[in-house]
Structure 1
Amino acid sequence: MRSLRIPLISFLLLILCGGAVYAALQSSAPGPAPLASYAPPGALLAIESPDFASVLAAWTHSSERKRWLAGDNYAGFSRSRLFDRLSQAQDEFATTAGLPPDSNFLQQIAGRQSLLAWYDIGNLEFLYITRLPPGDAAKTPLLQLRDRFEQRKAGDATFFVRTQQEPARTVAFAVQGDYLLLATREDLLAGALELLQHPAAATSRTLLNDTWYATTIAAASKTPGDLRMTLNLAKIVRSPYFRSYWIQQNVSETKQYIAALSDLYRSPDALREERVLIPADPDTQPQTSDLSSVLDLVPPGLGVYRAQSAPTTADILTQFEDKLLSRRPTEHSDTHIAPQADLSTPESGTSTNLEQRIDEPTLPAQPREQALTALRTLFSSATPTSLLSFSTVDPAPSTFTPIHTAVALTAAAPWSPTTLQQALTAALLPRLSSPGTSLQWTQRDEGGSSSYSLEGPQSLTFALIGNTCVLASDYPTLHQLLSAQRTATHSPRIASTIAGFSHRAERPPFLHLTATLDHSASPSAGTTPAFFSRNLASLSQTFVDLDSESFTQAPAKDGATRQTVLYQWKR
């Protein structure tokens, strides 16, 4: 049986993403000085914890860890190129250090106040500083192997370093009082020891005083979470490794910020993540408004939703196309493959048209763009203030599991049902395959409000509530949203974006839907599990106790963008 193996680097990052979910909230006093004051400048990111040992212990003994290691998500990860590269780096570290950097080793060197600073992603260059209980630093397994290392001096402190060639890997470590230091670069360890011995010299040459780090810390909460991650985004987004392995592939959005910080706080039934993002241009901060008018439509404990303030016309059309008008799989575009070049010469004008400049070719209008002209004009003139998109999978298992969708839009003035019907009809008619087919709208009165539904091959319905227009893929979904609005508390919710996801409600129908789409069967040994029905499904099973997730974003008065992510748990 193949033994389970987690590279040290991926294990540390996994603790960042998942381990803090299960750590007990600690109230221990911080050390005499931030460990960042002992780290040399130039780091890309730093992960800090006031009690890393307890965070690690909580994750190590959690049922989530056991489920993840036994699941298809881990099996898929273990076959990836990233896993192979991290495994190779782990082997090289073990050869140089003389012992494997596995989870057992990590537990042995995990202290309370701890810092992991990354200086190079590709070469895995890092500095780790941790404060151990008195006397424990001298008992670390690395210190027992010091005879295999070369002895060096940094001021009055002694440290040990060893470098193995082909490829070159360096392991350096030292014990300074109750501190254990470990690095993969000799200069990083020597610099940290110098700062530990002469903290007064830390006024201009430490991570603590790096501009990006100091600015982000100043904007963050004065009470750090169980884990705190600080990122130098201005440098990270330029790394080819970040562009290759960052799964979100949203580099253009990330480039809007020069630095970021995330604090994770644990309570018995929730995990709260407080983020601070420092924008490159403070004048480009997102607008805020009261999103309660559209959020009140979301049925409690159901679906996936996202509400945003001051949406652009392009934002609205994208959601209308995705949720209501097209409702079909989008064409996949592989960004790693260059498009085919069109080498033809376009014809510009005719010999009889003397009013058009022939050196300015006329771009042909796209048919879909023409169909959306009426909607685009309507949205541009309506001055929308908030936009909501909503999706949920039908909970009743069947051969065809429908996905119900809805979009709500609030404007500065009431909507005209006739104008909206005409614009929607113009957008939908080109989608119909039967020539001459017409779309007929019917009105339905219910509870003092009116709704309008399409009859025929296209299902679509909408209702108007004051200045809010609510559109849905079918009438039962519209009825759900309207019922939720009637019973909502209607309390103000000021933000630029608020989103949410009900894992508990959506998990069963999602598993049924993906199993149908993947035609899932037990894969043979050595094959990669089906991505949706097995890989993602096993990740859902790992966090089966996660009830829901919510996200809130709003700009702050100090110019930073603040985000709060709340993970709600039910054990």
Structure 2
Amino acid sequence: MRSSRIILLIAVIVVGMSHRSDGQGARPLAEQLRLAGVMPRGGLVYVQARDLSALMKMWLASTARDRFRKSSSFSVFSESRVYLKLQERKKDIETAVGVGLDESRLAELAGAASAVTIYDIGNLEMVFVTEVGRERAIATALFKQAPQFQERSAPSGVYYAREVSTDGGRLSQQFCFAYAGGRLIVTTTEGLMIRALANSASAGDDSMLQDVMATAGRARGFTAHEITMWLDQARL
């Protein structure tokens, strides 16, 4: 039930930020949903944006953002146990990595086509991928913290990792980031990073692409819009 409420809140934000397609001719489905090919399988919710950088600029400057934050729905949610727990966990991660993780940071990291997949809401297990030039990615505050991280190697590439202790020391996970294949990849567990790097090199059976495409394929005339959202409803 708690997961369902959080997913509903995500959906409200998605609707608030999205608008109609630009009317361009439909591209092949696999191309429209290509970032799902980077995501390891097992995600609960997948959200992709056609141009996250532009959307974040619009969102930060919009009156809809202010209305949402002042709404009764957000007020109730911000006082919930789930929200407070997530905020505590986010603060633990920020302290460990030395970088704030808020809307402004997302706007800084965001490139054009971008996506996020949530695997475990309570533990903040997620993967974020954005298509951005190497020079811009390296100039971000996150990459400037690289000397404070451990550089590690996986079969499909190099990544940076930092151990994070959360939930009062009861949970240990990793905050990782990498640049591969023209994409900045950020994960909150090392296992997800290793799998995402492998998918970035060559999307295979461990990627979410086929799952997301199967759902989209059942929608007649499907076209990815400014924001597209996929849910594993059976797990909600």
When normalised by structure 1's length, the TM-score is 0.36
**CA distance in structure 2 between the partners assigned to 1:86 and 1:78 by the alignment:** 10
* Cα distance change of structure 1 residues 134 and 218 upon mapping to structure 2, 3 Å threshold: same
8 Å contact kept, 2:86–2:124: no
Query: Equivalences for 1:109-120 in 2 at 5 Å?
Result: 109-120=109-120
8 Å contact kept, 1:28–1:50: no
> Which amino acid letter does the alignment assign opposite residue 146 of structure 1?
A
Query: Equivalences for 1:143-182 in 2 at 5 Å?
Result: 143-155=143-155, 157-165=157-165, 166=169, 167-182=171-186
Cα deviations by residue, 1:386-427 (Å, 9 ceiling, x for unpaired): xxxxxxxxxxxxxxxxxxxxxxxxxxxxxxxxxxxxxxxxxx
**CA distance in structure 2 between the partners assigned to 1:105 and 1:225 by the alignment:** 24
> Which amino acid letter does the alignment assign opposite residue 179 of structure 1?
R
2:199 corresponds to:
195
Q: Tell me the secondary structure at the aligned position of residue 18 of structure 1.
A: helix
8 Å contact kept, 2:44–2:119: yes
Q: Tell me the secondary structure at the aligned position of residue 217 of structure 1.
A: helix
Deviation of 1:14 after TM superposition, in Å, equals: 5.4
2:217 corresponds to:
218
Q: Determine whether 1:185 maps to 2:186.
A: no
**CA distance in structure 1 between the partners assigned to 2:194 and 2:88 by the alignment:** 26
Deviation of 1:105 after TM superposition, in Å, equals: 0.7
1:93 corresponds to:
93
Higher helix share: 2
8 Å contact kept, 2:199–2:206: no
Specify every segment of 5 or more residues in structure 2 that has no aligned partner in the other structure, as ranges.
Answer: 1-6
Over aligned residues, Cα RMSD in angstroms? 2.8
* Cα distance change of structure 1 residues 12 and 141 upon mapping to structure 2, 3 Å threshold: farther
8 Å contact kept, 1:20–1:59: no
1:521 corresponds to:
none
**CA distance in structure 2 between the partners assigned to 1:139 and 1:164 by the alignment:** 24
Specify every segment of 5 or more residues in structure 1 that has no aligned partner in the other structure, as ranges.
Answer: 1-8, 238-571
Deviation of 1:222 after TM superposition, in Å, equals: 3.8
1:207 corresponds to:
208
**CA distance in structure 1 between the partners assigned to 2:73 and 2:146 by the alignment:** 39
Q: Tell me the secondary structure at the aligned position of residue 42 of structure 1.
A: coil
> Which amino acid letter does the alignment assign opposite residue 20 of structure 1?
S
1:16 corresponds to:
14
1:526 corresponds to:
none
Query: Equivalences for 1:66-85 in 2 at 5 Å?
Result: 66-85=66-85
Q: Which has the larger radius of gyration?
A: 1
> Which amino acid letter does the alignment assign opposite residue 112 of structure 2?
R
**CA distance in structure 1 between the partners assigned to 2:38 and 2:231 by the alignment:** 18
Deviation of 1:169 after TM superposition, in Å, equals: 3.6
**Larger RCO (CA under 8 A, 6+ residues apart):** 2
Deviation of 1:109 after TM superposition, in Å, equals: 1.2
**CA distance in structure 1 between the partners assigned to 2:57 and 2:48 by the alignment:** 16
Q: Tell me the secondary structure at the aligned position of residue 100 of structure 1.
A: coil
Cα deviations by residue, 1:519-569 (Å, 9 ceiling, x for unpaired): xxxxxxxxxxxxxxxxxxxxxxxxxxxxxxxxxxxxxxxxxxxxxxxxxxx
**CA distance in structure 1 between the partners assigned to 2:32 and 2:214 by the alignment:** 21
Paired residue total? 222
Deviation of 1:96 after TM superposition, in Å, equals: 2.2
**CA distance in structure 2 between the partners assigned to 1:231 and 1:182 by the alignment:** 21
Deviation of 1:74 after TM superposition, in Å, equals: 3.9
8 Å contact kept, 1:24–1:54: no
Deviation of 1:62 after TM superposition, in Å, equals: 0.8
Deviation of 1:160 after TM superposition, in Å, equals: 0.6
**CA distance in structure 2 between the partners assigned to 1:45 and 1:208 by the alignment:** 13
> Which amino acid letter does the alignment assign opposite residue 150 of structure 1?
Q
Deviation of 1:28 after TM superposition, in Å, equals: 10
* Cα distance change of structure 1 residues 134 and 163 upon mapping to structure 2, 3 Å threshold: closer
8 Å contact kept, 1:96–1:170: no
**CA distance in structure 1 between the partners assigned to 2:177 and 2:137 by the alignment:** 11
8 Å contact kept, 2:33–2:213: no
**CA distance in structure 2 between the partners assigned to 1:26 and 1:85 by the alignment:** 41
